[in-house]
Every structure is written in structure tokens, then in C-alpha cells.
Amino acid sequence: MHLFERARAAYVAQIRNQEETMTTVNAFAAPSADAPLSGTTIDRREPGPSDVEIEIAYCGVCHSDLHTARNEWNGTTYPVVPGHEIVGKVTRVGADVTKVKAGELAGVGCMVDSCRTCEPCCEHEEQFCEQGCTFTYNSPDKNGDGQTYGGYSQRVVVDEAFVLKVSDKLDLAGVAPLLCAGITTYSPLRHWNVGKGQKVGIVGLGGLGHMGVKFAHAFGAHTVLFTTSPGKTEDAKRLGANEVVVSKDAEEMAKHANSFDFILDTVSAEHDYNAYLALLKRNGSMVLVGVPEVPAPVAAGSLIFGRKHLAGSLIGGIKETQEMLDFCAEHGIVSDIEMIPIQDINKAYERMLKSDVKYRFVIDSKSLAEAA
């Protein structure tokens, strides 16, 4: 055979082999920053020895999905398939997989890989991987030449090290947002040892804040919600708040000066951090998980007088996320959700911008059968 013909035959065989090791599934993707999400198809790899294939039942809708779809944080590669609050049933596993079996429930959160060798990774904090973790969507895919695609799709294939076991004791749709909104609030509350005998504030009652209230209450803390909306009082108390403070009321805020052990700030809109730092006790901590677009000024005196701490927190590692899911199963905790078909995702994004959801949209993935 001529050299050129042999090379061409080898190339064709390689392409056919790649095609044979991929499965095409329906998905919803944003084709550009200014275009609505729409139905498409994507390829998922066949499970390798350490891989787990999950048929997605539900996927939560995170504000990060919207930011990425519209390139508001820059760096989006199109087309992008969002979604990192994934739960469903295991359909296939690789020969070396021991964590889960076919037929069991499993989940995938914000990450699908990391370097696994740096100090944070070795200490089970893969979210702080020094090489940069591989996010569930819009990250370079270590298993191919393209990018990762998220949970707005029918199936996903993930290395078992980043797969989470899900209890069948809980409503599966309500579990989905725990994989981001849940761990984002659970992790700082655990890291700063929130518990009984403490007074804890939660700023904001959205997708993150409502989980913060639930966890702080479950940990036994006296839980206070801060909100700009007086109409949220009844709902906040239903979720576990002992008190509700309207943050626009200066007198009401002043009553709580120097009284909080810990404050978790979940708000991504511009607001005054100093007003909340004034409420901390000596040695108290305020932790940010919301990301306002405009940097906020912090007065040095707000920290110096009282030796107060201002810190931030990012999701959680796989070990801690599994701990959170087990805690939720034990205590009957899930997110408050509104179910939608994937065809309503663009409407959901607009409603999310108006805070018109209590408290997390979740996609019923059965609707993806008609997506493409």
C-alpha cells in the first residue's frame, strides 16, 4: 500500500474509533453571549476504567450558569452547556470503579477533575487546586480536545473520584441544588465551627441564603436573617430563622451591634460590608460567598476595633460535599425548588435576574428528550 494511502487509512480508523467511543445526547447550549439557549446535541465519551456514566434526572439552575452563558465573567467558550448541580441514576461504571454501582443514585457538582497532587488536592480541597480544577462546564476537558459540558444534558460521564453518592431518603429534585448552593453555604459554616450557643447571621434569602438559614438552624445556632424585604419574614422563619432583621432599618440594625459570632454574606448585589462588620462580636467572622460586580470598600476600623475577620469561601471539596449530602440525608434537608422543563430555561434566567424564584430552579431532565 502506498505511504499516503496507509496514512489515510490510519486516520480514518482513528476517526472511526473515536466515533465508536462517543455517545451523542441531547443538550441545551448557549451558542453566543447574546443568543438564547437552544437545543443541540453533544458527544459524551464512553466510560473508561475509572468512569461513571449517569443518566441525569434533574439539574439545578445556578446564577453562575447565567453569568457564564452571557460571558459576564469573560472567558466563556461557545457553545457552552451549563449546569453543575447534577443528580441521577448510574447507568454504567468502568471496571475499576468501586464507589457506586449501576442502578444507584449519584451526583456531580461544580468540579469533574483536578491535578490531585498539589497540597489542597491532597487535603481534600480540590476547589483550591493549585493547577486549577476542571469545572463541570466551560473548562478544558482533560479527556479530549474540547471543553467540558454540564448538566443541561441527558447524560454525563465523570471519573469516580468526583462522583457523589446520593441517598434515596430525600426528594431527588431537591437534592440537586445542594451540589452548589448547599455546599457553598455548608462549607464556611463548618469551617468556622458554627454551632450551639452562637448567634449567626445570614445576609440574603435567595438560592444560597435559604440554604444558609437551613444549615445554621440545623447546626443549633441562633439564626438571624438579614433582608431588604420585610415580606420575607414569614418564609425565613419557616426555613429556620429565629429572627429577621430588615437591613434598611438603621435602628433595627443598631440593636444587634457587637452581638454576632459569625455572619455569612450570600448577596451578590452591591451593599455595605461595614454595616455588617459592626454587628460582629470581638473576634467575630464575616464570610463572603456572594460576588458583587463592583468591589466594596472596607474601612480598616471596621476590622481593627474588635479584631474582626473578613474572609471568603468557595464551594467545598469532594469529601466535604459528601459529608454535606450525608448530613442532609440524616436531617431531611433539601433545597426549596421550582421545577421547569428545559424549554423554559431562558424564561427562568430572566426571572432569576428579578429574584422571582423560591428558591432554586431545577430542570426536569426528561424534557431533554425533545430538546434537539
Chain CA centroid to CA 189, Å: 16
One of 3.30.300.170, 3.40.50.300, 3.40.50.720, 2.40.30.10 is the CATH number of 182-312, namely 3.40.50.720
Provide, rounded to the nearest whole percent, the portion of the chain with pLDDT above 70. Answer: 94
* Domain parsing of the chain, residue ranges: 23-180+336-370, 182-312
| DSSP for residue 140 | B
Mean pLDDT, rounded, for 324-331: 98
Chain CA centroid to CA 118, Å: 23
Q: Phi and psi (nearest 5°) for 274? A: -60, -35
How many whole angstroms separate alpha carbon 26 and alpha carbon 41?
4
pLDDT the model gives residue 20: 52
The answer on pLDDT for 320 being more than 80 is yes
Joined grid coordinates for residue 294: 463592583
pLDDT the model gives residue 16: 42
| Yes or no: domain 23-180+336-370 corresponds to CATH 3.90.180.10 | yes
How many whole angstroms separate alpha carbon 176 and alpha carbon 294?
30
pTM for this prediction: 0.92
pLDDT the model gives residue 145: 74
